[in-house]
Amino acid sequence: MASHLNVDTPGEELIPEQAAAPPKKSVQMPVGVPDYTLTSETRQVPASEPPVWPINKDLKCVGQSTERYDGAAKVTGRARYTSDVQLPGMLYAKFVDASIPHGKVVSIDTSAAEKYPGVRSVHVIQQVLGPAVLRDPKLEQVKYPVVRFAGQPVAAVAAVTPDAAEEAAKLVKVRYDAMPFVVDIDKARASDAPQVFPGPADEAGSAGGGGGPSDVPQTGNVHGPSVHRVGQVEQGFKEADVVVEGHYITQVQTHSALETHGVVADWKPEMLTVWASTQGTASVREELAGFFHIPLTQVRVITEFMGGGFGAKFGAGNPGVVAAALSRKAGAPVRLMLDREEEHLSVGNRPSSDQRLRIGAKQDGTITAIQLISYGTAGCGTGAGCSGPAANLYKSASLHTEENDVFINAGPATAMRAPGHPQGAFALEQTMDELAVKLNMDPIDLRDKTDPHPVRRVERQIVRGSDLWKSRNPTAAASPGPVKRGVGLAQSVWYRFVSMGSAAEVRVHRDGSLEVISAVQDIGSGIKTVMAQILAEQFGVPPAQVAVKIGDTNYPEGPNSGGSVTTLSLTPAVRDAAWQASQKFLADIAPALGASPGDLVLVDGEVRSQSGKMQPLSFRRAAAKMSSAQITAQAKRVPDYAPHKYLTYGGVDVAEVEVDTEVGRIRVTRVLSVHDCGRPMNPTQVISQINGGITQGMSYTLFENRLLDPEYGLMVNPDLEQYKIAGAREIPDIDVRLVEAYLGQSSTDASGIGEAAGVVSIGAAIGNAVYNAIGVRIRQTPMTPAVVLAALRTAAQRREIA
């Protein structure tokens, strides 16, 4: 794995050395893409592993589009999210947020708030979570945390009604000693800029990403560079026949999950129980136990349903620890959900980028050098690196990347869906398109020459044969009239991260019902459904016969859902547990059936004898013969079978746009999205995620922008009307082609999709389509009408001069 990536998978333990290697067996596994490259490879796997599954078309339930396990709960409103949890005597909490972007807190007077009718507890924050931390804490001797962004929580109030909490929060008097601030990345880079931190500061890589390297220099607000070199780029550029370079700028995006961050915390002397809107029940428990110095056994975290995270919801964060503190003080459960403005300001965002990218190539398309110098702001946090695509998508004789974080007085960034990659691919894939133009090569031919990935090669073949790609006019700006049509493509890359902290338990009950439990949470990607499918496949029963119980740290440990780890990490544990439980079950009932366990199989809701010695028996009737009420098996993730192979995956996205050159409006009309994710466990759910990646990526490219007022240091659009995200009328016609790509890595051979799902590549695909439409390259997001018109004007002026 490229070590300089700003991706830190929660709970990840990179493949550990085996202390005492368990006995192995040799198996043949399908590898490659059916109908294109399917073959088989030999793997040495632990002897306890279940038999190898064939490809999807030969399975009954896995690989089929089984209906979402909790679909009915979601469409009827029965699904209970954290913000729906109502406990007897529950209080409602409200933060007091800093009203200035930078300054010391001189005093906090809570007396009026404490006296306000209905108020039960008030908490003053002594340690704020999220911003980078000074390497030398002695540089700041303060009573309260220094305010580094407007909206930083300072205190909180819990009261019997939401209104009382809000009114009392307004009565908390905070006196500030205001300090100079900077909210513009270019101004922050200047040597005389106000300093966000009085010395070097780092944000540790947090659960689920965010944060950046700490072993880098810091000059003023510039934290970096983090340098990565392969070979000699100077030599590479010398050897190049053609060099293309560009300056690309991307904006800050906020996650804008529909359910805001928040918890319901119920502090009791023996147990702190927390309902959390989180991507990681385990990460919330760890942070709470660590913060309050209590054992993990005294913290229980529950996430039945959660309303979207996209990378921002890991750990307890300020809402978690403050709600717990308020609950302890009040002796009552406390619900603390952020409001929409706080959600924009204080709990994460996708950092901006300012990239200068150069690529050198031979006349035949061979890349000799890639150089990327990037700056980006993660507010008062770090993690703006964006060199992942430049480092990992194409074969280059040399590579040089320098990544810099620039501190400004804004909320700290967190991981956001494929951290760094939409930014990096926006520059890289447009530069590749430019290179193709310069070399007079077809963009697909160029990539066939330089991209060694075997699955993307198949994906490009599918694109090449598609009607959409065939409809592309290779000559830019060829359509007549003011509305120009264009088609462009771009590629995505993501990495195979395995979270070894993934376990599941399977239970067979005497009434024939089955259940599977794990602490993992379903963030909307549908892991519950996939778990039910695996048990159904293994036991030969319909998925509806399986109960899935997850989202509770009382269950066996589950992965935190970030970096596309959930399905690929957890499903092998689920299958192994299901396989072991099924074998125990057959061994247990065999004597009562007068059969040998090895002769029995579970098929189509029945126990059958392979030798035909016994009449088939329904699964339920067979279960009634169990010698105990319950048979259980628990399994933990086995390391990948081939840990050094197939480390990346991705896809190819094609966009068709219409650019109105009179008003500057870009409309994305059609998208073809060709993606792989190992064995697709539930194709419909995978397609849903890709629709989402395309939509979010398009929204980022065309509309979204966190705007900070340089005079006041405040966000001017902290809502959902001025912070524009794509809606129903802007959604293109999206055609998803799923490519089954077997890797021979685990008992399910699943991979992830969340990050690679279009969000990485669609921005550049739109950029390339816009170039194809108007012959002018837009190197800046969001591509608003003003940006498009300015680019057209500049191009026209250049033509006049020439």
Partner 1 sequence: MAKRNQHDPTSGEENPQTQSAADSARNGITRRGFLKGAGLTAAGTALLDGVHAFSSETAGNRKGVTELGPGPVPVRLHVNGAEHVVQIEPRTTLAEALRIHLGMTGTKIICDRGVCSGCTVWLDKMPVNSCMTLAVDAVGHQVTTIEGIAGEGELHPLQAAFVRHDAMQCGFCTPGMVMSCAALLERNASPSEQDVRQAVSGNLCRCGTYPKVFAATLDVAGSTRNA
**Alpha carbons 7 and 407: distance in angstroms, whole number:** 19
By beta-carbon proximity to partner 1, the closer residue of 166 and 184 is 166
In 3D space, the residue among 735, 732, 722 whose CA is nearest the CA of residue 667 turns out to be 732
* Candidate list 81, 394, 646, 703; residue touching partner 1; CB under 8 A: 81
Helices assigned H by DSSP within 551-675? 566-593, 619-623
Calculate helix-pair angle for 454-464, 443-450, nearest 10 degrees: 170
Residues 6+ apart with CB under 8 A from 539: 508, 514, 578, 582, 602, 619
* Residue 63 CB, nearest approach to partner 1 (Å): 15
Residues 6+ apart with CB under 8 A from 148: 101, 102, 131, 196, 197, 380, 409
725 binds partner 1 (CB under 8 A): yes
* Candidate list 65, 99, 545, 618; residue touching partner 1; CB under 8 A: 65
* Candidate list 17, 35, 58, 721; residue touching partner 1; CB under 8 A: 721
Residues 6+ apart with CB under 8 A from 616: 606, 607, 608, 609
* Residue 69 CB, nearest approach to partner 1 (Å): 10
Q: Give residues 251-270 in contact with partner 1 (rule: CB under 8 A).
A: 255-259
* Residue 117 CB, nearest approach to partner 1 (Å): 11
- Answer whether 248's CB lies under 8 Å from 428's CB: no
* Candidate list 9, 83, 571, 772; residue touching partner 1; CB under 8 A: 83
- Answer whether 122's CB lies under 8 Å from 155's CB: yes
Which string of DSSP letters, residue by residue, matches 79-135? Answer: --BGGG---TT-EEEEEEE-SSSSEEEEEEE-HHHHHSTTEEEEEE-SS--SS-EES
**Alpha carbons 180 and 713: distance in angstroms, whole number:** 10
- x/- mask, partner 1, residues 585-624, rule CB under 8 A, reads ----------------------------------------
**Alpha carbons 757 and 250: distance in angstroms, whole number:** 20
Q: Give residues 308-347 in contact with partner 1 (rule: CB under 8 A).
A: 308, 310, 339-340
By beta-carbon proximity to partner 1, the closer residue of 360 and 763 is 763
How many C-beta neighbours within 10 Å does residue 25 have? 11
Distance of CA 224 to the CA centre of its chain: 25
72 binds partner 1 (CB under 8 A): yes
- Answer whether 82's CB lies under 8 Å from 259's CB: yes
For residue 41, list its beta bridge partners.
29
Q: Report CA-CA distances (Å) from 560 to 9, 309, 520, 693.
A: 8, 12, 7, 20
Q: Give residues 352-381 in contact with partner 1 (rule: CB under 8 A).
A: none
* Candidate list 40, 298, 684, 705; residue touching partner 1; CB under 8 A: 684
| 41 token code pair | 């490879």
253 phi and psi, to 5 degrees? -115, 140
- CA 694, 697, 703, 707 dihedral sign is positive
483 binds partner 1 (CB under 8 A): no
Number of residues in contact with partner 1, rule: CB under 8 A? 58
By beta-carbon proximity to partner 1, the closer residue of 251 and 609 is 251
Q: Report CA-CA distances (Å) from 787 to 39, 392, 702, 763, 777.
A: 49, 30, 10, 15, 11
672 binds partner 1 (CB under 8 A): no
118 binds partner 1 (CB under 8 A): no
728 binds partner 1 (CB under 8 A): yes
By beta-carbon proximity to partner 1, the closer residue of 1 and 716 is 716
Residues 6+ apart with CB under 8 A from 615: none
Tokens 């906090």 correspond to 108
By beta-carbon proximity to partner 1, the closer residue of 436 and 687 is 687
By beta-carbon proximity to partner 1, the closer residue of 34 and 307 is 307
798 binds partner 1 (CB under 8 A): no
Stretch that binds partner 1, among 40-48, 71-79, 470-478, 745-753 (CB under 8 A): 71-79
- x/- mask, partner 1, residues 511-530, rule CB under 8 A, reads ------------xxxx----
In 3D space, the residue among 496, 364, 641, 596 whose CA is nearest the CA of residue 5 turns out to be 496
By beta-carbon proximity to partner 1, the closer residue of 604 and 733 is 733
801 binds partner 1 (CB under 8 A): no
* Candidate list 685, 701, 745, 761; residue touching partner 1; CB under 8 A: 685
726 binds partner 1 (CB under 8 A): yes
By beta-carbon proximity to partner 1, the closer residue of 49 and 658 is 658
By beta-carbon proximity to partner 1, the closer residue of 327 and 529 is 529
By beta-carbon proximity to partner 1, the closer residue of 434 and 704 is 704
**Alpha carbons 315 and 336: distance in angstroms, whole number:** 15
* Residue 667 CB, nearest approach to partner 1 (Å): 13
* Residue 798 CB, nearest approach to partner 1 (Å): 37
564 binds partner 1 (CB under 8 A): no
Stretch that binds partner 1, among 63-71, 401-409, 548-556, 583-591 (CB under 8 A): 63-71
Q: Give residues 123-182 in contact with partner 1 (rule: CB under 8 A).
A: 162-163
| 708 token code pair | 């900070």
737 binds partner 1 (CB under 8 A): no
497 binds partner 1 (CB under 8 A): no
Stretch that binds partner 1, among 360-368, 438-446, 604-612, 726-734 (CB under 8 A): 726-734
303 binds partner 1 (CB under 8 A): no
Q: Is residue 214 left, alpha or beta, with left meaning phi > 0 and alpha meaning psi from -120 to 50?
A: alpha
Stretch that binds partner 1, among 189-197, 706-714, 730-738, 764-772 (CB under 8 A): 730-738
543 binds partner 1 (CB under 8 A): no
414 binds partner 1 (CB under 8 A): no
By beta-carbon proximity to partner 1, the closer residue of 305 and 555 is 305
By beta-carbon proximity to partner 1, the closer residue of 69 and 197 is 69
> Residue 355 in 3-state DSSP?
strand
Write out the residues near partner 1 by the rule CB under 8 A: 65, 67-68, 70-81, 83-84, 86, 162-163, 255-259, 305-308, 310, 339-340, 523-526, 684-685, 687-689, 691-696, 719-721, 725-729, 731, 733-734
